[in-house]
Amino acid sequence: MDIELNRQGEDLRIVVDGNIDSEGGRKLGEALQEAMGMEGLKRVVFDLSTVRTITSSGIGKIMNFFKFIDGRKGSLSVEGISEPLYKQFLEIHLDRIFPVRR
């Protein structure tokens, strides 16, 4: 799995390429730690276009990052999500916490 952090001003796009399994979750955690060190972020978008599976640990890492960015009065959204992941996110009501778009 690869992760790109693409920053433009106050916006950060986190592009995840591959599944977020136990190894991918570790890499995601490292990337999110790096993102937390960036000053002045206001909008963060997770691009999960190529992610087909995600563990509960991976979801937990996204939630922890949401709490971080929300605490700084920023916003987080998830885009490009596959139909199975979209259903999973809806089942656990993540769409009520932040926008989730296919």
pLDDT in tens, 2-42: 999 999 999 999 999 999 988 888 999 999 999 999 999 99
Per the structure, the complete domain to which residue 15 belongs is given by: 2-96
The tens digit of pLDDT for each residue in 45-71 reads 999 999 999 999 999 999 999 999 999
Q: Give the count of domains, the chain.
A: 1
Q: Is residue 73 part of a domain?
A: yes
Query: For residue 41, is it within any domain?
Result: yes
Residue 19: inside a domain:
yes
74: exposed, middle or buried (Cβ count in 10 Å: 0-12, 13-18, 19+): middle
In whole angstroms, what separates CA 33 from the centre of its chain? 12
DSSP class of 96: G
Kindly state whether residue 38 falls inside one of the protein's structural domains: yes
Tell me whether residue 102 is in a domain: no
> Is residue 101 domain-resident?
no
Residue 3 pLDDT = 95
Q: What is the CATH number of the domain that holds 54?
A: 3.30.750.24
